[in-house]
Amino acid sequence: MLIKGSEAIVESLKANGVEAIFGLPGGVVIPLYDSLYDADIKHYLVRHEQGAAHAADGYARATGKTGVCIATSGPGATNLVTGIANAYMDSSPMVAITGQVRSGLIGTDGFQEADITGITQPIVKHSYLIKDPKDIPRVFKEAFYIASTGRPGPVVIDIPVDMQLAEIDYKQPSRVQLLGYKPTLKGHKRQIKAAAKLIAAAERPVIYAGGGIVSANAEKELRRLAKLVQAPVTTTLMGLGSYPETDKLSLGMLGMHGTGYANYAVTHSDLLIAVGARFDDRVTGKLETFAKDAKKIHIDLDPAEISKNVPIDVPIVGDAKNVLRDLLVELKKLDVDPKRTRPWIRQMNQWKKSHPLQYKDLKREIMPQFVVEEIYRVTRGKAVICTEVGQNQMWAALFYKHTNPRNFITSGGLGTMGFGFPASIGAKVGRPRETVIDIAGDGSFQMNIQELATAVNYNIPVIVAILNNGYLGMVRQWQELFWGKRYSETCIECQPDFAKVAEAYGALGMTIKDKKDVADALRTAIKARKPAVLDFRVKQEENVFPMVPAGKSITEMIGGHK
């Protein structure tokens, strides 16, 4: 069948199961957009390409499917860069399609030319520059395969405009053939046996679960493991929701802003079972003291993560779901005595009492933590929570009880302010029946505030809950604690009236200044069935506690004591 390259792209997208695309057209993707014009794939026009990348990422995290975004060449493509880097750091499956100047013009500094495969090289799982239109079906099949298998990540496909215009004999390849790409999914039998032995013998085990549980859909296996060996579970920021925080074995999050009890548990453990986590500096603090008396088992899909930061005793390379299943089989053979961790669990409960998560609630003034707790209460913990980055993110991580995977969507590795709102749009597109709330800061929200138009345009009823403290709050917190309260450029003196901005875009806008109105505002927004911005004026100089200063041991916490 002879069709145009641009039609081959659309056919390939369909063949790879794409239902939603986020993008913004430009000169060299006009042929592609022309082919999309009457295709049955829903395209969402964003107002800035960064929004497209984050929306695709949010869609991917909420659904587990690969997110797709499109931008034109040059500035369109470079506007995707932050979103691609963000997806890379958090291992989110994404295919980013960029237009490129016609192939004869490449390398001549043509109008709107940028070497996007070069620019994105350090932040992609793989990339393609299509030089022969016949390659289109193969490249798309490979791209979706690479993005979504193994350790997921973003793939860029750069397509010169003449490739979109050329006619090709279109045929979908039957399978993917990649010589150098064969992710190890099954764990090594002997290693799994060795791990099971260590687990059965441990008296103070802690499971440290990360985003790998979420992307492998291994939450059930994780629960079974915790229950079988009676080991407490702490999760990373990316792993929140992979283990229910309502369970008594849950320790919540660990690390720089982790709970006191999680940090104590890890530090005093005799066995650390890391699953789908990567020992990030925000988790470990000072490396020399991190779980220093513990043997370490590390289950991860990516061999490069093993022993990267912390030496590992028993590494197991494989998909978390597969490995945990095999591990459970081995453990059952060993007849693990669940009673042996009882003293350890008692110690845990003591730490929960002596180092509780807490804040000082006020009578009328709204505490940011209170807003997060109210969101949990009003949505009965069933909402999909997206966050921006900074204090809002940490409060959302700590004070919302996360119980389900894929219900907490946050920029972990890159820490991208402006991620949450477009990501919430993507999440809502992927899961339209669920309440999606972006817990935002007044600083972060303004970084992609233009996407209000996208949300209103397609009536994607996401709720933005701004914890408005008038500061770039996390940096202000550091300045308060470590820089002698010299608030250099962190006070946002000129701020729009967010409720009016929302209304101007056609969304619902509310300003909430009294504590007693918080729950009502949330209920009104949920019922409104249209995009809503709730401007919660919260206590201005509130800090996120506990906090471990950068480079210190994770038990050297500020705050968090009773």
Give me the residues that bind other proteins (CB under 8 A), please: 117-118, 121-122, 125-126, 129, 131, 146, 178-181, 302-304, 306-308
How many whole angstroms from its chain centre is CA 68? Answer: 16
Residue type, 195: A
**By C-alpha distance, which of 303, 297, 50, 27 is closest to 160?**
27
Residue 131 or 292: which CB sits closer to other proteins? 131
Residue 157 or 372: which CB sits closer to other proteins? 157
CB of 345 to other proteins, least distance (A): 37
Specify the residue for token string 């053939």. Answer: 177
Residue 151 or 406: which CB sits closer to other proteins? 151
Q: Output DSSP code: residue 50.
A: H
For residue 546, whether the previous peptide bond is cis, meaning omega lies within 30 degrees of 0, is yes
CB of 390 to other proteins, least distance (A): 27
Phi, psi of 501 (to 5 degrees): -60, -45
Residue 185 or 345: which CB sits closer to other proteins? 185
Residue 122 or 484: which CB sits closer to other proteins? 122
CB of 414 to other proteins, least distance (A): 16
CB of 210 to other proteins, least distance (A): 18
CB of 88 to other proteins, least distance (A): 12
SS3 content of the chain, % helix, strand, coil (to 5): 40, 20, 40
CB of 179 to other proteins, least distance (A): 5
CB of 150 to other proteins, least distance (A): 9
Helix intervals (H) in 98-135: 116-119
CB of 119 to other proteins, least distance (A): 11
> Mapping DSSP to helix (H, G, I), strand (E, B) and coil, where does residue 485 land?
coil
CB of 125 to other proteins, least distance (A): 8
CB of 103 to other proteins, least distance (A): 12
Residue 302 or 434: which CB sits closer to other proteins? 302
CB of 495 to other proteins, least distance (A): 39
What per-residue string of b and e applies to 537-554 under the rule 16 or more CB within 10 Å gives b?
bbbeebbbbbbbeeeebb
**By C-alpha distance, which of 89, 77, 65, 88 is closest to 16?**
65
> Mapping DSSP to helix (H, G, I), strand (E, B) and coil, where does residue 430 land?
helix
Cα separation, 306 vs 430, in Å, equals 33
Q: What are the tokens at 484?
A: 């002698």
Residue 86 or 511: which CB sits closer to other proteins? 86
- End-to-end Cα distance, the chain: 72
Residue 287's CB: how many other CB atoms inside 10 A?
14
Four-residue CA torsion sign, 328, 331, 333, 337: negative
CB of 49 to other proteins, least distance (A): 23
β-strands 508-512, 532-537 pairing: parallel
Cα separation, 192 vs 4, in Å, equals 51
What per-residue string of b and e applies to 65-89 under the rule 16 or more CB within 10 Å gives b?
bbbbbbbbbbebbbbbbbbbbbbbb
Q: Which residues pair with 438 in a beta bridge?
A: 386, 464
Residue 121 or 349: which CB sits closer to other proteins? 121
Residue 180 or 484: which CB sits closer to other proteins? 180
Residue 191 or 341: which CB sits closer to other proteins? 191
Query: Are the beta carbons of 75 and 114 closer than 8 angstroms?
Result: yes
Residue 96 or 544: which CB sits closer to other proteins? 96
**By C-alpha distance, which of 560, 527, 526 is closest to 543?**
560
Residue 178 or 329: which CB sits closer to other proteins? 178
Residue 141 or 355: which CB sits closer to other proteins? 141
CB of 298 to other proteins, least distance (A): 13
Task: Output the CA–CA distances (angstroms, integers) from residue 167 to 4, 28, 42, 132, 173, in the order listed.
Answer: 4, 17, 25, 11, 17
Query: Are the beta carbons of 439 and 467 closer than 8 angstroms?
Result: yes
Q: What are the tokens at 381?
A: 């913990």
HSE on the CB side for 16, CA within 13 Å?
30
Residue 91 or 387: which CB sits closer to other proteins? 91
Burial class (CB within 10 angstroms; exposed 0-12, middle 13-18, buried 19+) of 558: middle
Residue 319 or 451: which CB sits closer to other proteins? 319
CB of 301 to other proteins, least distance (A): 11
